[in-house]
Amino acid sequence: MNSKERLVGAVTFQPVDRVPVIPVALSQGSKLLNMDLPTYQKNGVHIANGQLKLLEQLEHDAVFGVPHVVEDLVPWGSPLTYYKNGSPTLSKTVIRKFEDIVDLKVPDPSDSLETKESLKAINILAKEVGHHTAVIGALIAPFSLPSMLMGTGPFMRLLLEEDKSGDKYLKMLLDKCRRYVVSWAKQMVEQGADIIVMADGIASETVISRRLFQKYVHPLVIETIKEIPVPVVYEAVGSTQGILDLIATTGAVVAIIDYKDNLEECKKIAQGKIAIMGNFNNIEMLYWNSIRTQLEVKKAINKAADGYGYVLSSQGPEIPYDVPFEVIETMVRATKEFGKYK
């Protein structure tokens, strides 16, 4: 059974040999290639090579064709500031006042150096290992994209004001973002992405209430996923347990859950409806060692590997650059050793 078969089987609740393991190691490839992070992140060939090297060493169950999701903002006109030890940040707000939303043009997602390079990386990975290992493309979900275009505070104001006194700009903005996301996902799929991870940074119960999720996020995610031709992994980035039942009806095949979510409870809610993936505390991983990692793997498997439908991973957005490599290695090795489905 190869990784792709294992992953597909596991997330569709079919018998597979073991729990699949996907470390979201987007930046670690640069270390393996002995190059600084910005150089690595800006070049599709490097990204692909880094992922291939990682796969060669770890033999885990999927590779990522993107270095981060912040790149989604570049085609909208927000350049990035790069750092030597983490993901880039945005250096410009695209929407300065609500009125700007009316004239906001939806750009071509591949209209930036960064996104072009990601497509290149996906293409290389698909050709090299796509026949046995799933190639993952990742992007920002349409509900969270606006908060990056205008800042979380202003978006929150827009959301809450229009939730109270009627729609004016919100629907228009979310629709523009949805069109962008669908187009970006399709381009990734064209280059060979088997799965799309949709990161919804402000959709979890950590940021908005279940009511707001139900009213705004849920229909938007359904509409978006409907148009993406490959399986979608949905990540609400934050507490997911209270909305997991809703996520299960969006059409997503996997939901990434937060470290604070109760893995056992989430498994019960999701069983047979949607697979779950997670939920190592990625910041805490900075302080783990091999033994601790093995214990965490065992704990997670005891809680969630009952009746398939579980992928061992960390919570989003990624494993930090400075997490010791032995921790990631142990995460994969221990899952292979102890990751038996019950």
86 binds other proteins (CB under 8 A): yes
Rounded Cα–Cα distance for residues 316 and 298 (Å): 20
**Selected binder of other proteins within 320, 332, 339, 341 (CB under 8 A):** 320
Rounded Cα–Cα distance for residues 79 and 46 (Å): 21
Rounded Cα–Cα distance for residues 159 and 170 (Å): 7
151 binds other proteins (CB under 8 A): yes
Kindly state the DSSP code that residue 69 receives in the 8-state scheme: S
Minimum separation from the CB atom of position 142 to other proteins (A) = 18
Helical H segments across the chain, by residue range: 3-11, 28-32, 37-41, 44-58, 100-103, 113-129, 145-150, 152-165, 170-190, 210-212, 218-226, 244-247, 263-270, 290-304, 325-338
225 binds other proteins (CB under 8 A): no
Residue 248, C-beta contacts closer than 8 angstroms, at least 6 positions apart: 255, 269, 270, 273, 274
User: Are the C-beta atoms of 183 and 115 separated by less than 8 Å?
Assistant: no
Write out the binding residues for other proteins, residues 249-308 only, by CB under 8 A.
259, 281-284, 286-287
User: In terms of CB distance, is 192 or 316 closer to other proteins?
Assistant: 316
Rounded Cα–Cα distance for residues 63 and 283 (Å): 21
**Selected binder of other proteins within 14, 39, 85, 302 (CB under 8 A):** 85
Minimum separation from the CB atom of position 169 to other proteins (A) = 17
User: In terms of CB distance, is 77 or 86 closer to other proteins?
Assistant: 86
Minimum separation from the CB atom of position 2 to other proteins (A) = 34
CA quadruple 221, 222, 225, 227: dihedral sign = negative
**Selected binder of other proteins within 2, 14, 39, 81 (CB under 8 A):** 81
324 binds other proteins (CB under 8 A): no
Minimum separation from the CB atom of position 107 to other proteins (A) = 20
- Of the CA atoms within 13 Å of residue 264, those in its CB half-sphere come to 3
Write out the binding residues for other proteins, residues 102-131 only, by CB under 8 A.
none
**Paired sense of beta strands 254-256 and 275-280, if any:** parallel
User: In terms of CB distance, is 157 or 226 closer to other proteins?
Assistant: 157
My answer on whether omega of the bond before 146 falls inside 30° of 0, hence cis, is no
Name the CA radius of gyration of the chain, rounded: 19
Token code pair at residue 161:
């004001």
**Selected binder of other proteins within 57, 152, 183, 290 (CB under 8 A):** 152
User: Are the C-beta atoms of 183 and 108 separated by less than 8 Å?
Assistant: yes
> What are the beta bridge partners of residue 234?
198, 255
User: In terms of CB distance, is 8 or 212 closer to other proteins?
Assistant: 212
Binding-site residue total for other proteins (CB under 8 A)? 33
Minimum separation from the CB atom of position 198 to other proteins (A) = 20
Rounded Cα–Cα distance for residues 224 and 232 (Å): 10
User: In terms of CB distance, is 209 or 249 closer to other proteins?
Assistant: 209
Minimum separation from the CB atom of position 182 to other proteins (A) = 26
39 binds other proteins (CB under 8 A): no
Write out the binding residues for other proteins, residues 181-210 only, by CB under 8 A.
202, 205-209
> What are the beta bridge partners of residue 310?
276
**Selected binder of other proteins within 33, 90, 94, 106 (CB under 8 A):** 90
Minimum separation from the CB atom of position 264 to other proteins (A) = 16
**Selected binder of other proteins within 38, 77, 107, 242 (CB under 8 A):** 242
Kindly state the DSSP code that residue 284 receives in the 8-state scheme: G
Residues that bind other proteins (CB under 8 A): 81, 83, 85-87, 89-91, 93, 151-153, 156, 159-160, 202, 205-209, 212, 239, 242, 259, 281-284, 286-287, 320-321
